[in-house]
């Protein structure tokens, strides 16, 4: 849902920056790789240490590369299947690092096995949600469904909650509860989204099979 509106807004905002990078000879693939490395560093260095505010700041600075690289490719007229593949693949890596960082915190100093398991579920379900769409499209189905919580929603909910929870280190009382709440919301929303996509693929595949059978019979 956020993809439809937020992506269009930030694409317009970041277009001048994308043009600047192109003039400096930076390639879209380089931006993709640097952005992913930055997200991983922010998530896997700061989050396991409980430094959620600074980790979120670092991640947010790099996460916009996901919009900049595509913008650069379109401006330069060099959009390619390879670029789309690399971008999508590294998105999964970055998402895994974010929720992996949460899991490491709760498995260690955070000392909460339930929230560790919820973090791992968020990580795994996010990958599966993305896979269901990709797999459905690979067998010729449109997978025409807007899921309840897709990648943009997962990141925004998790990062905003983590950043605010990190204010506990600056003396804001009780605010750390926002991160567990966000993880439960993302876990439940991802489960619903997975169900939406599975149901959609089942319906679309049945319709496609019926159409193929009708054509064969005629």
> Which of 69, 78, 12 lies closest to 35 in space, CA to CA?
69
> Is 118 in contact with 187 (CB distance < 8 Å)?
yes
Residues marked as binding for Mg(2+)? 66, 69, 87, 91
Each residue of 158-191: b (16+ CB within 10 Å) or e? Answer: bbebbbbbbebeeeeeebbebbbebbebbbbbbb
Residues marked as binding for a CDP-1,2-diacyl-sn-glycerol? 29-32, 70, 74, 80
For the question of residue 91 being annotated catalytic, the response is yes
Residues marked as binding? 29-32, 66, 69-70, 74, 80, 87, 91
- Residue 126: other Cβ atoms inside 10 A: 27
Q: One of 91, 95, 111, 209 is an active-site residue; which one?
A: 91
Which are the catalytic amino acids? Answer: 91
């Amino acid at each position: 849902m956020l993809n439809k509106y937020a992506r269009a807004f930030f694409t317009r905002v970041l277009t001048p920056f994308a043009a600047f990078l192109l003039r400096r000879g930076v390639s879209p693939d380089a931006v993709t790789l640097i952005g992913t490395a930055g997200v991983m560093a922010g998530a896997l260095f700061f989050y396991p240490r409980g430094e959620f505010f600074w980790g979120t700041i670092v991640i947010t600075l790099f996460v916009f590369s996901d919009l900049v690289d595509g913008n650069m490719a379109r401006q330069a007229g060099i959009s390619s299947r390879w670029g789309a593949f690399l971008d999508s693949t590294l998105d999964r890596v970055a998402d895994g690092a974010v929720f992996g960082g949460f899991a490491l915190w709760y498995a260690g100093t955070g000392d909460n096995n339930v929230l560790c398991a919820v973090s791992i579920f968020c990580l795994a379900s996010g990958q599966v949600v993305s896979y269901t769409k990709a797999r459905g499209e690979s067998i010729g189905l449109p997978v025409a469904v807007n899921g309840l919580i897709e990648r943009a929603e997962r990141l925004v909910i998790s990062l905003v909650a983590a950043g605010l929870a990190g204010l506990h280190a600056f003396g804001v009382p009780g605010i750390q509860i926002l991160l567990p709440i966000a993880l439960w919301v993302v876990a439940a929303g991802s489960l619903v989204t997975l169900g939406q996509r599975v149901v959609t693929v089942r319906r679309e595949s049945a319709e496609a099979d019926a159409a193929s059978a009708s054509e064969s019979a005629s």
